[in-house]
Amino acid sequence: MRQDNEAILVVDVQKDFCPGGALAVPGGDEIVVPITALVPEFKVRVFTQDWHPANHLSFASQHQDLDPFTVTDMPYGPQILWPDHCVIGSGGAAFHGRLDTRTADIVIRKGFRREIDSYSTFFENDQSTPTGLDGYLRSRGVERVTLVGLATDFCVQYSALDAARLGYDVTVLEKLCRAIDLDGSLDAARKSMADAGVTLA
């Protein structure tokens, strides 16, 4: 058992991010069983879900003549446009079937505001609208967080950077993450996390 001040954050291990899903991360299903085995070691266990309305503005389908994976400007900055994914209540938004969610203390859902995306499990992409996770962790006395899940170079990275900015001791278990790796985004993510003091284990 880990120390009482440690939490595991299981980031977006959802069907749409696994092979066969709408925004599949290569090898995304390979980490599910090992994550399920690891979670009980931690006293505080947080699972997160991408949770978008069907007309979310991060979807390329909501922008005429713009294709998935192109970048557009939003009020909060540049935004990659994605295929429709993790729509609220859909099968793709569900956790992967082999992930044992019974061990979760809390599930944080993010990205449910139509006008703003949310990669981080702590803040939406404006870097100021909180998800409530920081308050929950502090109420549990958490000082150290370990992140696993999908995808290394987006939701895991943004969560790790925000956790470090908030003063947590942060570890990313890379063997229990998988990346999208758009145009070198994995190398860039690894550098940004290392520069922020995140331990890449």
Q: How far apart are CA 160 and CA 152, in angstroms?
A: 10
For residues 65 and 101, give the distance between their C-alpha atoms in angstroms, rounded to a whole number: 39
DSSP 102: G
Q: Determine the 3-state secondary structure of 32 from DSSP.
A: helix
**Whole-angstrom distance, CA of residue 105 vs CA of residue 68:** 34
Q: Is the peptide bond before 151 cis (omega within 30 degrees of 0)?
A: yes
Active site residues: 12, 110, 155
